[in-house]
Amino acid sequence: MWVGTRRQFNGLIIGGIAMMITKNFSVAEMECKCGCGASDMDEEFMRQLQGIRDEMQRPLTVTSAVRCESHNSNVSSTGKTGPHTKRKAVDLVISGADALRLYDIARKHGMSGIGLSQKGPHNKRFIHIDALSPAEGPRPTVWTY
């Protein structure tokens, strides 16, 4: 049980068990997976993502969010740049009818890039969503992996 004071500052809950960016997404789940500690997501993107979560009315499991340039170049064909390095993208584990529903809701909430990976084991299927502007990449666009 947590004991102490809790302060909220710019969307982060400090002094609790987890530091939260929004009511459903923590700093820890947005961190770069290479261990560099980068976790500073774009604020407008996080508002959009929380809106998607609210409309989905179910948890959304994030497998990738912020990526530093080094990590992105190791895991993505976009090299040292890309939506994840701009702090405006997440990959979410989801499949089946829920994936189709997420696609529709993400478009409604302003996501401009959507990548679908729906083959293989269900726990490996995911959807990438991002909110890049046309100046940041050719948008809107949809692709499959």
Q: What pLDDT shows up at residue 136?
A: 93
Q: Is the pLDDT of residue 4 over 70?
A: no
DSSP one-letter code for 122: G
Going by pLDDT thresholds of 50, 70 and 90, the confidence category of residue 2 is very low
Q: Which residue has the tokens 């497998």?
A: 63
The mean predicted confidence, pLDDT, of the chain is 90
Structure tokens that stand for 5 in this block: 């004071």
> For residue 82, how many C-alpha atoms fall within 13 Å in the half-sphere facing its CB?
23
Q: Is the pLDDT of residue 67 over 60?
A: yes
Q: Give phi and psi for 30, each to the nearest 5.
A: -95, -10
Q: What pLDDT shows up at residue 15?
A: 53
Entry pTM = 0.86
CATH architecture of 29-144: 2-Layer Sandwich (3.30)
Q: Is the pLDDT of residue 6 over 80?
A: no
